[in-house]
């Protein structure tokens, strides 16, 4: 939705109370899209208010993106309030905490998978027919670089995001011919609610400038950068991109682990 083809479009965005979801709500709305915003946190109302303050149209629904009734309600609201649905950004997710295999309970695994993997699957189930009825559009899911390789998150979180990477491939194939494209974004380190503790620690320790320096871009990402990619994938400009998991991580997933390198000038 980064081009004029976003004008008049309707989008659903989950996990919209903060971070990438809130940034996406503002980016999508700035392109002219009317947005239905979902989140389990009450902050989703503030996001909708921010969209309206900026001149956009938005409605908020508090609910759990891993529950089928909430996902169905978001799609129904888009159809009833705005006349249809053109894109769904399944962005909601949880980490489950920094728990290793030895201490991760079956209940923790099930909860992380329910929100992070079943949630996007439900988005595909309910959004695809509504988008097809409009002549086509896009579903975008938030995966993670943790779903591409080990070492970027806890095991349950990483496994759930690997599932999202494969989910969009399966969905793209199953929806062939419907006009609905399905892709995933794999963010690297981005300052959001999930990474707040790490960023707060870095600020307190005077090490904020070191966050994200293990990637070639040598910094962490901004929520707006992920939101812009989601908006592009939801737009007609990405009409030939389907079934892909696109990393937005400053180049982190392009590398093997290595020791920090000195600046280029020092190697000349």
- Reported as a single tens digit per residue, the pLDDT across 70-128 is 999 999 999 999 999 999 999 999 999 989 999 999 999 999 999 999 999 999 999 99
Chain CA centroid to CA 203, Å = 25
Judge whether 62 lies within some domain.
yes
Query: Considering only CA atoms, which of 65, 235, 84 is closest in space to residue 164?
Result: 65
Report how many domains make up the chain: 1
pLDDT in tens, 228-246: 999 999 999 999 999 999 9
How would residue 262 be classed by pLDDT, with cut points 50, 70 and 90?
A: low
- The whole-angstrom separation of Cα 59 and Cα 76 is 12
In a 3-state reduction of DSSP, which class is residue 50? Answer: helix
- The whole-angstrom separation of Cα 229 and Cα 227 is 5
- The whole-angstrom separation of Cα 14 and Cα 16 is 5
Judge whether 196 lies within some domain.
no
Judge whether 266 lies within some domain.
no
Active site annotation includes 157: yes
Judge whether 217 lies within some domain.
no
Judge whether 96 lies within some domain.
yes
Per residue in 72-104, is it b (16+ CB within 10 Å) or e — as a string? ebbbebbbeebebbbbbbbbbbbbbeebeeeeb
Q: Which CATH number does the domain housing residue 44 bear?
A: 3.40.50.720
Judge whether 215 lies within some domain.
no
- The whole-angstrom separation of Cα 247 and Cα 194 is 18
Which residues constitute the domain of residue 121?
4-191+222-248
Judge whether 261 lies within some domain.
no
Judge whether 135 lies within some domain.
yes
Q: Residue 258: pLDDT above 70?
A: no
Chain CA centroid to CA 123, Å = 12
Mean residue pLDDT of the chain comes to: 90
- Contact between 181 and 242 under an 8 Å Cβ cutoff? The reply is yes
The radius of gyration computed from the CA coordinates of the chain, to the nearest angstrom, equals 18
Q: What is the pLDDT of residue 2?
A: 46
Cβ contacts of 256 within 8 Å, gap of 6 or more:
none
* Catalytic site residue from 28, 88, 157, 232: 157
| More confidently predicted of 73 and 213 | 73
């Amino acid at each position: 939705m980064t081009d004029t083809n976003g004008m008049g479009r309707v989008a659903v965005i989950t996990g919209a109370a903060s971070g990438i979801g809130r940034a996406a709500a503002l980016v999508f709305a700035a392109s002219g899209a009317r947005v239905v915003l979902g989140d389990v946190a009450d902050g989703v109302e503030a996001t909708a208010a921010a969209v309206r303050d900026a001149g956009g149209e938005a409605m908020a629904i508090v609910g759990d993106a891993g529950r089928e009734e909430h996902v169905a309600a978001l799609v129904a609201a888009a159809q009833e309030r705005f006349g249809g649905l053109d894109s769904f950004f399944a962005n909601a997710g949880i980490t489950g905490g920094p728990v290793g295999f030895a201490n991760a309970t079956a209940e923790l695994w099930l909860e992380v998978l329910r929100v992070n993997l079943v949630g996007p699957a439900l988005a595909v189930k309910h959004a695809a027919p509504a988008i097809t009825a409009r002549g086509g559009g896009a579903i975008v899911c938030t995966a993670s670089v943790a779903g591409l390789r080990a070492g970027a998150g806890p095991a349950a979180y990483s496994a759930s995001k690997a599932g999202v990477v494969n989910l969009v491939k399966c969905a793209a194939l199953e929806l062939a011919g419907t006009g609905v494209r399905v892709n995933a974004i794999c963010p690297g380190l981005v300052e959001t609610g999930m990474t707040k503790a790490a960023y707060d620690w870095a600020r307190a320790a005077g090490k904020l400038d070191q966050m994200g320096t293990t990637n070639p871009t040598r910094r962490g990402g901004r929520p707006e950068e992920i939101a812009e990619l989601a908006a592009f994938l939801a737009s007609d400009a990405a009409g030939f991109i389907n079934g892909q998991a696109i990393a937005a991580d400053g180049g982190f997933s392009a590398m093997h682990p290595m020791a920090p390198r000195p600046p280029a000038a020092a190697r000349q």
